[in-house]
Structure 1
Amino acid sequence: MDTRLRTFLSLCETMNYRKTSELVNLTQPAVTKQIQSLEEEYSTKLFEYKGRSLHITDDGLLLKQFAESQHYNEVELISMLNRTERRVLRLGATKSIGDSALNEYLQRYLQQDQHNLSLVVANTTRLLSLLDAGELDFVVVEGLFEKIKYEVRLLKRERFVGICALQHPFAGTSVPVQALAGQNLFVREPGSGTRDIFERELKGLGYDLSLFNRVTELSSFQPLKKMVASSLGISFLYQSVVDADSHIAQFSLDDTVEEHEFNIVWLKHTTALRYVDAFFQE
Structure 2
Amino acid sequence: MLDTRLHTFLVLCETMNYTRAAERLCITQPAVTHHIHFLEEHYGSRLFSYEGKTLRLTEAGLRLRELARSLAYNSNKIEECMSSPAAVSLRVGATKTIGEYVIAPQVQRFLHMHPDARFSLLVENTQLLLCELEGGRLDFALVEGFFDQDKYAAKMYRREAFLGVCAPSHRFAGRAVPLEELLKERLLVREAGSGTRAVFEQALHRRSRTLHSFSNLACISDFSMIKTLVRDGVGVSFLYAAVVEHELAAGTLAQFTLEGENLSGAFHFVCLKDNQFAGAWSEWME
Q: TM-score range by the shorter chain?
A: over 0.9
> How many matched pairs?
281
CA-to-partner distance for each residue in 1:175-217, whole Å, 9 max, x for gaps?
A: 1211122211111111111111211211221111122122211
Matched, 1:240 2:245: no
Q: Kindly provide the CA deviation profile for residues 16-56 of structure 1, in whole angstroms up to 9, marking residues without a partner as x.
A: 11111111122222212221221222222222222221122
Cα contact 1:180–1:211 (8 A) shared by 2: no
Q: Structure 2 vs 1, CA of residues 277 and 200 (structure 1 numbering), >3 Å: closer, same or farther? A: closer
**How far is 1:84 from its partner?**
3.2
- Contact 1:182 1:211 (8 Å CA) reproduced: no
Structure 1 runs (4+) deviating above 4 angstroms are none
Amino acid paired to 1:195: R
- Out of 247, 250, 254, the position equivalent to 2:255 is 250
User: Conserved in 1, the CA contact under 8 Å of 2:269 and 2:282?
Assistant: no
- Alpha-carbon distance in 2 for matches of 1:176, 1:215: 18
Q: Which amino acid aligns with 2:220?
A: L
Shift of the 279–25 alpha-carbon distance from structure 1 to 2, 3 Å rule, reads same
Note closer, same or farther for the CA distance 1:141–1:5 as it changes in structure 2 (3 Å cut): same
Per the alignment, residue 190 of structure 1 pairs with 192
Structure 1 equivalent of residue 143 of structure 2: 141
CA-to-aligned-CA distance 1:57-81 (integer Å, 9 cap, x gap): 2321211111111111111221233
2:29 — aligned with what? 28
Q: Percent identity?
A: 41
Q: How far 1:162 moved relative to its partner? A: 1.0
Q: State the alpha-carbon separation in 1 of the partners of residues 82 and 193 from structure 2.
A: 38
- When residues 277 and 181 of structure 1 are mapped into structure 2, their CA distance, relative to the original with a 3 A threshold, is closer
SS of equivalent to 1:160: strand
Aligned to 1:64: 65
Unaligned runs of 5+ residues in structure 2 are none
Q: Does 1:118 align with 2:151?
A: no
User: Is contact 1:161–1:251 with CA below 8 Å preserved after alignment?
Assistant: yes
1:181 alignment partner in structure 2:
183
- TM-score of the pair, normalised by structure 1: 0.94
Structure 1 residues 90, 58: CA separation in 2 closer, same or farther (over 3 Å shift)? same
Distance across 2 between alignment mates of 1:164 and 1:143: 22
Does 2:172 align with 1:170? yes
SS at match of 2:97: helix
Q: Mean alpha-carbon deviation: is it higher for 221-230 or for 47-56?
A: 47-56
Uncovered stretches (5+) of structure 1, i.e. residues with no partner: none
* CA distance in structure 2 between the aligned counterparts of 1:54 and 1:270, rounded to whole angstroms: 29
Is structure 2 residue 74 aligned with structure 1 residue 73? yes
Per mean C-alpha deviation after superposition, the further-off stretch among 88-97 and 266-275 is 266-275
Q: Quote the RMSD (CA, aligned, Å).
A: 1.6
C-alpha contact (below 8 Å) 1:89/1:275 kept by paired residues: no
Distance 1:33 1:8 in 2: 11
Provide the C-alpha distance between the structure 2 equivalents of 1:48 and 1:179, rounded to a whole number of angstroms.
50
Given the alignment of the two structures, is residue 264 of structure 1 paired with residue 269 of structure 2, yes or no?
yes
TM-score normalised per structure 2: 0.92
Q: CA deviation at 1:92?
A: 0.9
